Structure 1
Amino acid sequence: MRVPRAPEAGETLTGYDFATHPGGKGANQAVACARLGGEVSLIGRLGNDAFGQVLRDGLIAEGISDDTVGSDDRAATGVAMIMVDDAAQNRITLAPGANAKLTPAHIDAQAGLFDGAAMLILQLEVPMPTVLHAATLARRHGCPVLLNPAPATSLPDAIWPMIDYLVPNETEATLLTGIIVTDPASAGEAAKRLLDKGVRNVLITLGSQGVLLANGQGTEHLPAFVVKAIDTTAAGDTFIGGLAAGLAEGMSLSDAARLGQRAASISVTRHGAQPSIPYRAELNS
């Protein structure tokens, strides 16, 4: 729902309009990666309901096989309620539904996908034990691991050394490090702390302030593309999709991040989650 501002506690606020769109961090990132040039498989769970069918149809339309996405008769499809204000900022609450039913056994059943894969992309809308198990399996197969630590929460110590690319936003980086991240300088401090935990590359997204890259070779700040934003929903997911697609193609970290930034700069000029994600050909138009 688009609103002029977030309502106060107990306040009823009249908004502008309401729409439903396919979403979910894992699905958004899968769609973004596919639209931006990647060959993608998604492991997940959907409810056996109307929302689930819409999401499944959307994946198939993007060339993402639904063979690895199970249906759960005892849980609803995960949903998110999103408010987008006049400043294009979003506030999101979610009900995990079938996402919370994704288990390590479901990952093991698709272990063949890890052979020769260029990247495993993980988020935290599925249970932490499943995330940790998937990262462990990826490392066993020599598959690089990208973790988007969202929704923001603490991480188990065991996962840090398995992460090749950690991509938090300001809020997530603040929670993970205790350093209040507001700009590239504070992001650099937070990134150093994350590298000290064993992560190989850290990319902290800073919205209109761009992205801070950090690894053992140093840090680099990539300014944002200047656009008129109307809805930031799925911008981070779009960035991750472009980053992963670029890295899979053999791009440098900086070039892959710029690809992600360019795609995200287009997504924020459009409404919705997956409907806002551009195709690769649009990046040069």
Structure 2
Amino acid sequence: MSTVYVVGSLNMDQRIQVPVLPRAGETVLGLDAVFTPGGKGGNQAVAAARAGAGVSFVGAVGPDGHGDTLRAALLADGIDCRNVRTAPGKPTGTAIIPVDPRGENSIIVCPGANSALNLADVGTGLAAVGAGDIVVLQLEVDPAVVCRAAKVGRERGATVILNAAPAPASVDSLFDDVDVLVLNEHELKTVAGLLGLPGDDHPACTLALACRLGITVICTVGPEGAYAAAGGELLHQPAHKVDAVDTTGAGDTFVGYVASSLARTPGDLASALAAATAASALAVTRPGAMESIPWQTDVLSVL
């Protein structure tokens, strides 16, 4: 099977259980706090690996204990970490994640070493990319790095998947070399607004965005499942009904499973949606981000 190359962020997550998500100016007493490996890039890489893909990671950590923990977490899932660089003078990226009793969360990300990832890292990390491979990107690193990685992937015949999260402040050339764009409903509305499209009707907006950009667009919509548009056609994958414990990492699980599925069966969007939706449903029934990501055997039992 082809290789999935993930270029992106690595963060140490501090997850805090709270009775309610704090409002502006409000102090809330946390019930529990734990540190766990995360970051959108790291989570998506682990999801792709647990879905059965061979995965190579391109990223940066700081010269500290958090960086060591993150590198060890990736290695434990069989991920190639030769291109995870230690950035001198930069702390490993961190994220603070309060989670309420319904599993809803808010996230504050401090990039740290992720901001040190540069164009040279992309050139080195993607040197072996070839036709049939998958390049997975997110927006927790410098947009110039994202655009360069997409361009390298496109030039070498790989399929480029961009998870537009966090939502971009501008479009510019961000989507020029992207084959598959993955967003949630909030990110969809933001991107649609930047392009002058209405964003309230999720299926219609997904289709309109795919037609405007000339690429495949996938939108995850929580309990509605996921919509995907390609070639003027719209697909809908219903969600699995589960009792959510923690939604952190659900979107990253979805992206990783989409990448692995497309690496295994290129062009089979329906199968990718089915696997990714089942995997993310399982993920929200478990606490945490990276540690909540299910293995392929778990997902197959659901499917």
TM-score, scaled to structure 1: 0.95
Q: 1:190 to 1:111 in 2, by over 3 A?
A: same
How far 1:180 sits from its partner (Å)?
A: 6.5
CA distance in structure 2 between the partners assigned to 1:42 and 1:2 by the alignment: 30
Q: Secondary structure at the match of 1:168?
A: strand
User: 1:212-251 counterparts in 2 under 5 A?
Assistant: 212-250=227-265
Q: Secondary structure at the match of 1:56?
A: helix
| One-letter identity of the residue aligned with 1:158 | S
Q: Secondary structure at the match of 1:21?
A: strand
How far 1:234 sits from its partner (Å)?
A: 0.4
Aligned residue number for residue 74 of structure 2: 59
User: 1:179-218 counterparts in 2 under 5 A?
Assistant: 181=199, 186-218=201-233
| Kept in 2: contact 1:166–1:199 (CA 8 A) | no
1:29 corresponds, among 20, 44, 47, to 44
| Kept in 1: contact 2:115–2:142 (CA 8 A) | yes
| Kept in 2: contact 1:163–1:199 (CA 8 A) | no
List gaps (5 residues or longer) in structure 1. Answer: none
Matched, 1:112 2:122: no
Aligned length: 282
Identify the structure with the greater strand proportion. Answer: 2
CA distance in structure 1 between the partners assigned to 2:70 and 2:135 by the alignment: 21
Q: 1:198 to 1:180 in 2, by over 3 A?
A: closer
> CA deviation digits over 1:205-252, x for unaligned, max 9?
001110011111411221100111110000000011111111111161
CA distance in structure 2 between the partners assigned to 1:123 and 1:111 by the alignment: 16
| Kept in 2: contact 1:160–1:199 (CA 8 A) | no
1:258 corresponds, among 262, 274, 294, to 274
2:290 corresponds, among 247, 253, 274, to 274
Indicate the percent of aligned positions where both proteins have the same amino acid. 39
| Kept in 1: contact 2:178–2:215 (CA 8 A) | yes
Q: Which moved more, 1:267-276 or 1:5-14?
A: 5-14
Q: Which moved more, 1:150-159 or 1:256-265?
A: 150-159
CA distance in structure 2 between the partners assigned to 1:14 and 1:275 by the alignment: 25
C-alpha RMSD of matched pairs (Å):
1.5
1:13 corresponds, among 18, 28, 40, to 28
Q: Secondary structure at the match of 1:229?
A: coil
| Kept in 1: contact 2:211–2:232 (CA 8 A) | no
> CA deviation digits over 1:1-20, x for unaligned, max 9?
11121122222212221111
| One-letter identity of the residue aligned with 1:67 | R
Aligned residue number for residue 171 of structure 1: 186
Aligned residue number for residue 110 of structure 2: 95
TM-score, scaled to structure 2: 0.89
CA distance in structure 1 between the partners assigned to 2:198 and 2:246 by the alignment: 24
How far 1:154 sits from its partner (Å)?
A: 3.3
| One-letter identity of the residue aligned with 1:53 | D
CA distance in structure 2 between the partners assigned to 1:156 and 1:146 by the alignment: 16
Q: Secondary structure at the match of 1:74?
A: coil
Aligned residue number for residue 147 of structure 2: 132
Q: Secondary structure at the match of 2:183?
A: coil
CA distance in structure 2 between the partners assigned to 1:8 and 1:191 by the alignment: 31
Q: Secondary structure at the match of 2:35?
A: coil
List gaps (5 residues or longer) in structure 2. Answer: 1-15
